[in-house]
Amino acid sequence: MATQASTATRVAQGALMGAANIVPGVSGGTLALMFGIYERLIGAIRDGAGSLLRFARGDVRGGIDRLKSVEWGLLLPLAGGAFITVVVLAGLLESGLENHPEEMAGLFLGLVMASIVVSWRLPKWDGPRLVLMAVVGVILFAALGWQTGPVVDPSPLVLFVAGAIAVCAMILPGLSGSFLLLMFGMYEAVLTVIDERTIGDAVVFGVGALLGLALFASLLTRLLERHHDTMLAVLIGLMVGSLRVLWPWPNGVGVIGDTADSSISGTDLEWPPAGDLPVPLLLAAAAFAVVLIVDRLAHNRS
């Protein structure tokens, strides 16, 4: 009974982490910290990624030995719970993006702003890191002005790269893989693949995620170990710059969901009419509060 209860708990934790990863601005890594399993999860992912690399080099025996070291009792229930939640939520989020883009953009704004606040205390700040964060944020903010709308019907190569990039962000506390998909205009396209069960596209995205994890998990861990504060400054700069694709900018509405207003271009930064402010603002405030509460729980747990 103890094993069954433990497995059920892991499935539930995986479901919550899956929900966090599919919502931009919330990181599954943050919840893993809250549950007290972050280091074990990263270790299991690193072992699994190492086995894939050994198989890729033709070292079958070494790959099998490395697979045996993976903590499958932790990894499989978490993955199963996350998979179930992602499939269930994808349709709801896709519908919200299509029918209520301004409200969804306001919700995401609150999530990302709270993530910036949470992440701000992680590095040790000095002059060069503050400058680096600001430069990264400004460059990304300007670059995202070139994005005029969501990517429609992405090619297999684009899906592959999106999977590789997003999965790496998902394992970092404070940085959401869905946030990166949103930033590149790929968020709704990936939701559509999941919701419509487009098997071919899902496989391409999944293979990209697996290979990206195998190639970058150890690299990201090494960079964070050797250049922890500098890397975090860059990540925070990315989050600051990403506000370009979120409410209240009309460009943000065009990036996360379809918009019928053909006058909206990637460089517009005009404010919406006053009558359209209350609901997105309330959703942003609520999302901001939820992330801070989750972070407080994680901080107390650690």
User: pLDDT digit string (tens) for 131-170?
Assistant: 999 998 898 788 766 655 567 778 888 889 888 877 776 6
* Residue 1, pLDDT score: 44
* Residue 256, pLDDT score: 56
* Residue 26, pLDDT score: 63
Quote the CA–CA distance of 109 and 26 in Å, as a whole number.
11
* Residue 163, pLDDT score: 87
Helix axes 72-99, 101-120, angle to 10 degrees: 140
Three state DSSP letters for 244-296: HHCCCCHHHHHHHCCCCCCCCCCCCCCCCCHHHCHHHHHHHHHHHHHHHHHHH
User: pLDDT digit string (tens) for 277-301?
Assistant: 788 889 889 989 988 887 787 677 6
User: pLDDT digit string (tens) for 80-112?
Assistant: 998 888 888 877 877 777 778 778 878 878 877
The structural domains of the chain, with segments of one domain joined by +, span 2-301
Residues with Cβ < 8 Å from 287, sequence gap 6 or more?
25, 107, 108, 109, 110, 111, 114
First-to-last C-alpha distance (Å) of the chain: 28
pLDDT (mean) for 243-253: 64
What is the three-class DSSP state of 125?
coil
Query: Over 70: is that where the pLDDT of 258 sits?
Result: no
Q: Which of 262, 231, 214 is nearest to 49 (CA)?
A: 214
Quote the CA–CA distance of 102 and 149 in Å, as a whole number.
14
Query: Over 50: is that where the pLDDT of 263 sits?
Result: no
User: pLDDT digit string (tens) for 171-224?
Assistant: 666 566 777 787 777 887 888 888 777 888 888 988 888 877 777 666 766 776
- Alpha helices (H) along 123-198: 127-143, 156-170, 177-183, 187-195
User: pLDDT digit string (tens) for 24-65?
Assistant: 656 677 677 667 787 788 778 878 877 877 887 888 888 888
User: pLDDT digit string (tens) for 123-138?
Assistant: 889 999 999 999 988 9
